[in-house]
Structure 1
Amino acid sequence: MATPPWTPDASSHQAPTAQRRGTSGWLIAGVVTAIVVVLICAVVAAVVLVLRLRDGADPGTGLTPDTGGRPAATSAPAAGGCQWLPTDEASNPNIKNVGTPPRTVPTSGVQQLTMTTAQGVITVQVDTAKAPCAAASITYLASRKFFDNTRCHRLTTEGISVLQCGDPSSTGTGGPAYRFAEENLPTGSTPYPVGTLAMAKTQEPASTGSQFFIVYGPTPIDPLYTVLGKVTAGMDVVQAIGKAGAVDEAGNPATDGAPKSPVTITTLTVTPAS
């Protein structure tokens, strides 16, 4: 089974090494810490109980149960508009900072994305109403020529069939200086049919960036990736790229690698929402 279209996270997070202490010191510290934690919990519980009784607050968390304690992805911007979360540029040299889109974005209509490559032109109808933040992001990046003269860095030919693009560094780890939450997650037995253009992400929530993938064959993956739109012309171009196959870094045939026939996006434009 091929690897799903994740955007690898270049950052590395490691816990600091604990300082060594004597056994008795650890015991005393542990007892004191336990007492403090119990007292704090008691005070917090009392305050929460008083507030709920006073305001009649819902005792629930406000989070969807099946998201592991995280806000669920929605098909509309959160209150106040789209949330553009900063990335750690210091830990990833492949980040390209061109600013961030406006928080208030169009929430209706459709747009047309036109991707011109040496192999041909691919057009996509972007469903702005269903994925307003993703649409606003790709529109903004396109206006900054973020995708122009970049290479599609990944092609898979076994297990899943996708052409992945949108990384200005062509490494699979690059993107803009922000991330945002997933939206317009598909349902049904075939969440990503042929012709779908969806946004790639890491395994973490709210990690959508600039990378996207076009499905050109059966792709049975979990519905975790924002559906941005559907190819309306140029699927023959994508399928020809897929048929040519992929190669590894040494140039040998691979089922998950770079397109054997290099794909360079000369221009990528997006029309205003209408």
Structure 2
Amino acid sequence: MMRTTTLLAATGVAVFLLAGCSSNASDTATTSTTQSTTSAAPTTTAPPLDMSQFGVLPPVSEPEASSTTCEYPEATPAIRDNTAPATDGVSTVGTVDVAITTSQGPIGLTLDRAEAPCTVNSFTSLASQGYFDETICHRLTTTEGLEVLQCGDPSGQGNRGPGYEFANEYPTTAYPVGDPAASEPVVYPRGTVAMANAGPDTNGSQFFLVYEDSVLPPQYTVFGTIDEEGLATLDAVAAAGVSTPGNDGPPNAEVTLQSVTT
């Protein structure tokens, strides 16, 4: 069965947004008895979302060793042929620069192995095999509190992956098992790269690029940052809006990942 890999917390964010809205009653102005009564249109203004009411991402812990072992169990058959990444001797040290050429402009990433070694290992493996090349970013979200571009599914539908899954890493692993704080919303800052999923430990190939501070529970693995040139590209895509009604759907300015190289 195919599952949609997405930001499942979007509904939760909407709840917080609704809690912050206010609606003013209609204003009615009455003139003299010789003139008709007119009513001004009601004005409803949502105040800016107060990000200070949400938590922040926890500190990144120093890795206990310079390498680790990862697991990539089989999942729904891959939408595009690839070989699963190596599982032993995966580095936990240093960063990896990624150059993404898109139809809307360049996006540079810096991936952090200390944050998420198994995620970085998977992403760089897929990139080296051309898995992401000539694929579209299928989802743009422009709601205040959730402003991201989601990519990484060669089908363009948001429900397929590389044929394997792997466990959440930072920030999920920064919380003790059973800690309720692991479900409380935190701010994913502008410039964050994180994995989309269909629930805990279902990471595959889909990822999202945060172009404005976004509120999510810490259940989406953070594995890098976006450079300034990339943010400018994302800002332009976001400014063009969404091609379907509402604030969540395919971007008007279609984004094709032409190449993803390390």
Q: Take 2:76 and 2:147, find their aligned partners in 1: how far apart are those partners?
A: 31
Paired residue for 1:211? 206
Q: 1:241 aligns with which of 237, 243, 247?
A: 237
Change (3 A) 1:178 1:230: same
- Tell me the TM-score normalised to structure 1 length: 0.65
* Matched residue SS, 1:191: strand
Q: Give the superposition deviation at 1:6.
A: 4.5
Name which of 208, 224, 227 aligns with 1:229. Answer: 224
Q: TM-score, normalized by length of structure 2?
A: 0.68
Q: Distance in 2 between matches of 1:247 and 1:254?
A: 9
Match of 2:70 among 70, 82, 85: 82
Distance (Å, rounded) in 2 between the aligned partners of 1:185 and 1:169: 28
Q: Which has the higher helix share?
A: 1
Residue identity (%): 40
Larger radius of gyration: 1
- Provide the C-alpha distance between the structure 1 equivalents of 2:158 and 2:249, rounded to a whole number of angstroms: 11
Q: Secondary structure at the match of 1:146?
A: coil
Equivalent residue number for residue 111 of structure 1 = 96
Number of positions where the alignment pairs a residue of Structure 1 with one of Structure 2: 192
1:184 alignment partner in structure 2: 170
Q: Check whether the contact 1:96–1:174 (CA below 8 A) recurs between aligned residues.
A: no
Query: More deviation in 183-192 or 114-123?
Result: 183-192
Cα distance change of structure 1 residues 177 and 4 upon mapping to structure 2, 3 Å threshold: closer
Stretches of 4+ aligned residues off by more than 3 angstroms: 74-77, 186-191
Residue 96 of structure 1: which of 63, 80, 91 is its match?
A: 80
Q: Which residue of 2 aligns with 1:132?
A: 117
Unaligned runs of 5+ in 1: 8-73
Letter matched to residue 86 of structure 1: E
Q: How many angstroms apart in 1 are the aligned matches of 2:141 and 2:171?
A: 22
Counterparts of 2:202 and 2:81, CA distance in 1: 16
1:54-77: CA deviation from partner (whole Å, max 9, x where unpaired)? xxxxxxxxxxxxxxxxxxxx9789
Unpaired runs of at least 5, structure 2: 10-61, 175-180
Closer, same or farther in 2 for the Cα pair 1:96/1:4, shift >3 Å? Answer: closer
**1:75–1:213 distance in 2 versus 1, CA, 3 Å:** farther
